[in-house]
Amino acid sequence: MTDIASEAARLRAAAVSKPLRLPVNRKVDESHHAVTADGLSVWYTIQVSPHRRIQEAVFERADRMPTDDEVNAWLTQLFEGGDPAEAPSFPGSMTRRFEVFNDAPP
Helices (H), 27-102: 68-78
Interval 27-38: pLDDT, tens: 677 888 999 999
Q: Where are the beta strands (DSSP E) in 6-74?
A: 20-21, 33-35, 41-48, 52-60
Distance CA 6, CA 27 (A): 24
Q: Is 7 left (phi over 0), alpha (psi -120 to 50) or beta?
A: alpha
**0.75 cut: is pTM over it?**
yes
Interval 46-65: pLDDT, tens: 988 888 889 999 999 999 99
Q: Domain of residue 18: give its range.
A: 4-103
Distance CA 55, CA 38 (A): 25
Total count of domains within the chain: 1
